[in-house]
Amino acid sequence: MKFKKLSITLLTLILVMTLSFTILAEEVNLRIYHVNDVHSRVEEDDYAGSMGYAKMATLIKEARRERENVMFLDAGDTFHGQTIANINDGESISHILDLMKLDAVTLGNHDFNFGQQRLEELAEMSRFPFLAANLSREDGKEIPYTEDYIIKEYDGVKVGVFGLATPETTFKTHPKNVEGLVFENPITTAEAVVSEIENKVDVIVALSHLGISDGSEYTSKMVAEEVAGIDLIVDGHSHNVLEEGMKVNDTMIVMAGEYSKFLGYVDLTVENGEVEAITPNLIPREDTANVEKDYIISLVVDRVNKANEVITSQVVGRTTVELNGAREHVRTGETNLGNLITDAMKAKFNADAAITNGGGIRASINQGEITQGEVITVLPFGNTAMLMELSGADLRAGLEHGISEYPATEGLFPQVSGIKFTFDGDAEAGNRVQKVWVAGEELDPNKMYTVATNDFMKAGGDGYSMFADAPIVSEAGGLEEVLMEYIEANAPVAPEVEGRIVAE
- Asked if 296 and 421 sit in the same domain, the reply is no
Residues 269 and 418 reside in one and the same domain? no
| 118, 124, 127, 132: CA torsion to nearest 10 | 60
Does residue 98 lie within any of the structural domains?
yes
Of 253, 278, 304, the residue that ends a domain is 304
CATH classification at residue 422: 3.90.780.10
304, 334, 355 - which closes a domain:
304
Distance CA 400, CA 394 (A): 10
Same domain, 214 and 270: yes
**Which pLDDT belongs to residue 474?**
87
Supply the pTM of this predicted model.
Answer: 0.82
Query: Does residue 21 form part of some domain?
Result: no
Kind of pairing between the strands at 262-271 and 203-209: unpaired
268 and 374: one domain?
no
Task: Count Cβ neighbours within 10 Å for each residue of 305-328 and write b for 16 or more, e otherwise.
Answer: beebeeebeeebbebebebbbebe
Of 271, 304, 337, the position where a domain reaches its end is 304
Residues 335 and 421 in one domain: yes
Q: 479 and 336: one domain?
A: yes
Task: Give a yes or no: residue 245 inside a domain.
Answer: yes
Q: Report yes or no: 438 and 353 within 8 Å, Cβ to Cβ.
A: yes
Confirm whether 439 is domain-assigned. Answer: yes
Residue 190 has a pLDDT of: 98
CATH number of the domain encompassing residue 112: 3.60.21.10
Residue 229 lies in a domain: yes
Whether residue 97 is found in the same domain as residue 41: yes
Range of the domain at 453: 315-503
In this prediction, residue 311 carries a pLDDT of: 84
Query: What's the number of domains the chain is made of?
Result: 2
- The pLDDT value recorded for residue 146 is 98
Q: How far apart are CA 479 and CA 344, in angstroms?
A: 9
Residue 11 belongs to a domain: no
Q: What is the mean pLDDT of each run of 10 residues along the chain (504 residues)?
A: 43 45 68 97 90 98 96 97 90 97 97 96 98 97 97 97 96 90 98 98 98 93 98 97 97 97 98 95 97 97 91 94 97 98 97 97 96 93 90 98 96 98 95 97 98 94 95 87 96 98 94
Task: Evaluate whether residue 193 is within a structural domain.
Answer: yes
Look at residue 10 in the predicted model and tell me its pLDDT.
43
